[in-house]
Amino acid sequence: MNSKQHVKPHLLEALILIIFIIALISYSIMKLDSVPHIPILISIVVLFGYGAIKKVPYRTMEQSMITSVSTSISAIYIFLLIGVLISSWLISGTIPTLLYLGISIISASFFYAIVFIVTSIIGTAIGSSLTTVATVGVAMLGVASSIDASIALTAGAIVSGAFFGDKMSPLSDTTNLAATVAGIDLFTHIKNMMYTTIPAFIISLIIYAVLSPSSQHMDTTLITNYKETLITTNLIHWYSLLPLVILIVCTFFKIPSLATLAISAISGIVLSYFHSTIPLNELFAILYNGYSMETGIAAIDSLLSRGGMNSMLFTIILIVLSLSMGGLLFALGIIQTLLEALQNQLKSIGSVISGAALTAIGINFTVGEQYLSILLTGEAFKEKFKLLNLHPKNLARTIEDAGTVINPLVPWSVCGLFIATTLNVSVIDYVPFAFFCLLSPALTILFGWLNITITKAS
């Protein structure tokens, strides 16, 4: 955050404003079923009113918002490219082929572990945890019933895998958001997350394997139906995986994110002409509005009908509004005043990382919104990480480990409510078995105190 502090409010004033903003956003999301955009806009108006009372010039406050939002311009381009990339991966068959391969490995042996692996693969491929839960997750629950497996444990494995994908996919909006807030390259962020994510994944996988039922028989009708439907789309081809391979190779050679996403998207568009001919006007429409598929099976249609630049506008607008509010909070000295109150407790690397993680978790529980947990925590702790000479990628990893994966564990959160409704399993029932989501923040805090995989700024 580059906004200069123009006011030094009393701690009580800062607390009242922050509590008001959190209460407004929480009430709007949880009670009014509102998107967060409107309460954030109202909060901005309130902050302008507070600034006027403190005699801060309007132009000064406006400039603080512009300065803050300007830091996200490159990320906005990335989000738009991701929308194009998802569309290209759908028409090239990359996502359908990954889905086909994923559900092909389902078996009764090590069932929970396989559910975790499959949802992780699909979640990473499509970059959307909720879509993964609503489609593959629902199918996995049907299989669980056929082998008399625990529904709660299966739901925990589904949620863990889906949010592993949400956390590690270059297509995920939360992954891009965390990198943007910290001001680092997308693939630098993903690579750094592996230090906490891989151990959490392995430990979770072992637990799911140990807890899996011993049954060797299951009803494969649903899985077979899905596979046959995917084959009929004419999108399942070995060469359809090439855009994914290209993405990985470009990342390995440290090609900039924008170029990597563009190259992979172009390769997907080219490959799509190997199995279908799409008129240019229709192609442009798909890249902007997304791809649509009608197979007759709702779960498959939901997975294969997405993407497009237009699908990213919700997140882009939220970023602009949240960063505008963040710019005002800093320009009016509200964040600085609150952090100063914790100054004595936040002196070591472990305490700062723990503070950031617990703040992200706290925002998830109070506001119920994972985007805001990432945005607000990232903006609040950015300067604190700089003071301790910590590389920004440590902040990005912390807010992702404690922001993204905690939201589905909150019964009244956006993700928690969606998952409970979709799977018909209460959040309280699956929380004890969402091992990956529970381990991620624990490991990031532990590594902070032990100073493991912590990178200093050069």
Q: 238 vs 92, 100, 223, 224, 426, CA distance in Å?
A: 11, 11, 20, 19, 39
For residue 265, the enclosing domain spans 74-312
Q: Are residues 201 and 332 in the same domain?
A: no
Q: 367 vs 19, 197, 261, 415, 420, CA distance in Å?
A: 11, 25, 32, 12, 18
Residue 421 lies in a domain: yes
Which among 265, 280, 312 is the end of a domain?
Answer: 312
Which among 289, 312, 335 is the end of a domain?
Answer: 312
pTM for the model: 0.70
Q: Are residues 162 and 280 in the same domain?
A: yes
Q: Would you say 345 and 374 are in contact if contact means Cβ atoms under 8 Å apart?
A: no
pLDDT in 10s for each residue of the chain, 458 residues: 445 667 788 888 888 988 888 888 888 877 887 878 898 899 999 999 999 988 889 998 998 888 878 866 776 787 788 788 888 988 998 878 877 877 777 766 788 998 999 899 888 877 778 777 866 777 777 677 666 778 899 999 999 999 998 899 887 888 888 898 888 888 889 999 999 999 999 999 999 999 887 665 666 677 788 788 888 888 888 888 898 888 778 867 777 778 888 898 999 999 988 888 888 889 999 999 988 888 877 777 877 887 888 887 887 887 788 778 878 888 888 877 877 777 667 778 888 999 899 988 888 887 667 887 888 888 888 888 888 889 999 999 999 999 889 988 987 777 887 788 777 888 889 999 999 999 999 999 999 999 888 888 87
Q: How many domains in the chain?
A: 2
- DSSP letter for each residue of 96-148: HHHHHHHHHT--STTHHHHHHHHHHHHHHHH--HHHHIIIIIHHHHHHHHHTT
Q: Are residues 50 and 81 in the same domain?
A: no
Residue 458 lies in a domain: no
178-187 burial: b if 16+ Cβ within 10 Å, else e: bbbbbbbbbb
- DSSP letter for each residue of 390-414: B-HHHHHHHHIIIIITTGGGSTTSH
Q: Are residues 189 and 213 in the same domain?
A: yes
